[in-house]
Structure formats: structure tokens, C-alpha cells
Amino acid sequence: MSTQKSTTWIVGTGILAVLLFAAAWMLAVGPKLTEASDADRARENVELQNQILQTEIVSLKTKFESIDQAKAELAALHAEMPTTGALAELNLQLDGAAVTAGVRITLITVQDAVSATPAVAPVVEVPSGDATPAPTDSATPATADPLSGSSTGAAGRAVNGLSATPVSVTVVGSYSGTMAFLKAVQTTLGRVVLVTGLTATSQAKSLESAGKPATERGDVALVITGLAFSLADVTAVPTTAPTEAAPALPQPPADKNPFAPAAGA
């Protein structure tokens, strides 16, 4: 009988110990382990972020080491497409190209700059199968204005700050010289210029007169029309000088007649 009671007590004590251990795990040990696990995950995330930031720092350091080269490239781009019309520089560039090509500039005309929009080629729908396209009133294809970019097929997207200065240059010289000048304007002038039109006139033999050089039979007078582009710095913050308030003008007393004769007059 006593053995059965002892066994019952032992089993009960064991069950109670298991319950107490489970309660202690749930109330004390379990949350601490969860907190430790969360802390480990947070630490891993922080270490990962630190590695990413370290990689970005190394990349920025590498880019900073080549910042002088980037500035030089930007300066070269600004020279080709300045922030203003830079007409004086353009004239010097054209004169230099003419001297190199062995031709003489007889006339340069410049118009006011206008806002430029890139031209977009019109979209042409191609009929499928053997379908015959419907006849149209005009067979002239859609054209685009190089200044506005407007066309009958599509519209261009405006570039903020981009402007074009219409320029016309007339040069006189040999055929090879005028062609060399034209190539220089298009490729090596040091300024972004879009040639939009050419007019060549054959010259007869003549003496120099009125700014026109002496010519031989077969020489050419070449008129080049084009657009010289510039791109304003739209990121620059305009600075305005503070305006001073105008001084107040003296006012006569309201109760005194300014036209009354002076005392003793």
C-alpha cells in the first residue's frame, strides 16, 4: 500500500516538475530566446547594410578620384554647346576654319536665338497583306521643321533650355576649299552646328573687289545656313539684387494753401 502511494507521489511530482519547466520555458526562457534570435537577425541586417554602405563609399571614392577628368569632359561639352549664344566665339571659330580651308568669309548673318525642339520623323503606317492604301490628295511626305520639331506625322519633345541661333555664312574659294570648310563646320568647328541648307554658285575669273577675293574660273561661292545650338544652365539659381524702396516725396501740409501770398508780401 505504501509502495503504491510512493509511486503516485513520484509520478505526481514528475508531472508537476514537467509543468513547472514548461511554464518557466513559456514565461521566461522562451521570450529571452526569441529576443536573442531577433537581436541576431537585427545584427545581421546592420552588418549587411554596413557592407552595402562600405561598397558605396568605395565607389564614390573611386569616382571622386576621377572628378577632374569629369570636369574636363564637362568643360569640353560646354564649349561645344555653351550656355549662351557665344556669337563672338562662333565668329572666331568660323574665321579659323576658313583660314585652315583656304577660303574667305564674305558675309555672316545671325538671327535671334529661338527655343529648339528636336524633330521627330513622322510615323508611316505600312498596310498589311495585299491591301491597297487609300489615295491621298497629296503625295508630298510629311516634313519637320528643324527649329520647332513640328511635323505632320509627330511632334518633338522640347528640351528645357535648348535654343538654336540661325546662322548664314558665305565663303568664296576653290571647290576643294569650300568643301573643306563645310566639313569643318560639321565636324571640327568646336561648336554644335546643324547645317540645314547649301547654295553653291560657280564663279568666273575676276579681280578682288568690295571685300570679295580674286577668283578663278571654277571657284565657288558657298552659302551655308544652319543652326548653332546652346543649352542654358537650367539648374542655376538666378540671383537678384535687392531693390531699395523709393524715398517718400515731401507732402505739403493738408491745412495750408500753398498758393496763398507769403506774410508781409
E strands along the chain, which residues? 104-110, 114-115, 162-173, 193-202, 220-231
pLDDT computed for residue 120 by the predictor: 54
d(CA 258, CA 181): 76
pLDDT computed for residue 241 by the predictor: 57
Q: Which residue type sits at 89?
A: E
Task: Enter the DSSP assignment of 130.
Answer: T
- The 10s digit of each residue's pLDDT in 112-161 is 888 876 555 555 555 555 545 544 444 444 444 555 544 444 445 566 77
Task: Write a three-state SS string for 149-215.
Answer: CEECCCECCCCCCEEEEEEEEEEEECHHHHHHHHHHHHHCCCCCEEEEEEEEEECCCECCECCECCE
Q: What is the CA radius of gyration of the chain?
A: 42
Low-confidence residues of the chain: pLDDT under 70: 1-6, 24-30, 32, 73-80, 85, 117-159, 234-246, 249, 252-265
pLDDT computed for residue 142 by the predictor: 45
pLDDT computed for residue 79 by the predictor: 66
Q: pTM for this structure? A: 0.53
According to DSSP, the β-strands at 220-231 and 193-202 are: antiparallel
What are the sequence ranges of the domains in the chain? 1-65, 82-120+147-231
pLDDT computed for residue 75 by the predictor: 67
CATH number of 82-120+147-231: 3.30.70.60
d(CA 265, CA 263): 6
Q: Which of 151, 233, 230 is nearest to 193 (CA)?
A: 230
